[in-house]
Amino acid sequence: MDYDELYDPLSGIDSRSVNCVVDLLDRATDANLNADCRQGSADVIEPIGTLIATGDLHDNPVNLSKVIALANLGPASAGALAHLTLHEVIHSDRLVGGVDLSHRALLRVAVLKVAHPEFVHTILANHELAQIIGSGIVKDGVRVVEAFNGGVEYVFGDDTDAVLGAIDRFIRSMPVALVSGRGTEQGLLCSHSLPGPDVWSRFDFEVLDRVLTEDDYIPRQGSAHLITWGRRQKPEQLIELAERWGVGLFILGHDHAEDGIAFKEPNAIVLNSDHAKGVAMKIDLANPPKLGNATGCVISLSGI
């Protein structure tokens, strides 16, 4: 597929107009909160149809367009719509004049959510959360929150606060997970990460079934923070979470996967969709894979 054939959700959108951008983000916020699939802090869907699962995107617009095409969510698509998970979409490693313009990635995701509220699932990730609470993430020597704010200011000038406020509302509306077939053999949960062993005792295992509060975003305390930042999960934790949440497989991001996909025994897969070996997974929700046969669902984005 040639780059010129890829659909850019921002085509036809005046992405430099503060009124247009704020309205778009607020409509996407409403779509996140009021979609029929939203239950508590999760999007919950039936184990029917197809899921295109992705990992971290970090403002890779080409790979974003490719996964949109895989899910048949572009305007020219003729196939059945697939569910699509999107997370960790901001904080690019490609700066323009020293600033990060990845707010445009959020706008692309907002367009998709407004157009397909029951099929596009904008899962909260640690970089989005860091952006709204001002966490000091340094990536390759760049203070990413400051670079992102600089990009918004570069485009919107005196209207920066209005745009950042709309971005804040959109991010706070994001679910922490997509769940399919909960309580069945086909149970599947997609989230950016899972709580790690160091915060296990502080995590609220009921978070999926309730609305998030401000306390959930508190660093190293709140459950939204713990589920997006967790690392080094132990097998016994993964087993306990699967039993508590009634699923058989976790699909995550957050950790680096050099080949685009990595496995955490006994029941978790890590995806990256942002680099040269980035991948997505095409999953039959009625028959999701296990770790042993998951590679059959993997699609190399460089090969599209």
Those residues whose C-beta lies under 8 Å from the C-beta of residue 12, and which sit 6 or more positions away, are none
Q: What is the pLDDT of residue 4?
A: 57
End-to-end CA separation in angstroms for the chain: 6
55 within 8 A of 88, measured Cβ to Cβ: yes
Q: What is the pLDDT of residue 25?
A: 98
- Within 13 Å, how many C-alpha atoms sit on residue 97's CB side? 7
Considering just the CA atoms, what is the radius of gyration of the chain in Å? 18
Q: What is the pLDDT of residue 2?
A: 55
- Identify the segments of the chain with pLDDT beneath 50: none
278 within 8 A of 295, measured Cβ to Cβ: no
**pTM for the full predicted model:** 0.96
How confident is the model over 188-205, as pLDDT tens digits? Answer: 999 999 999 999 999 999
Pick the CATH number of 13-303 from 3.40.630.40, 3.60.21.10, 3.30.70.2740, 3.40.50.720: 3.60.21.10
Domain boundaries, given as residue ranges, for the chain: 13-303
Q: What is the pLDDT of residue 137?
A: 78
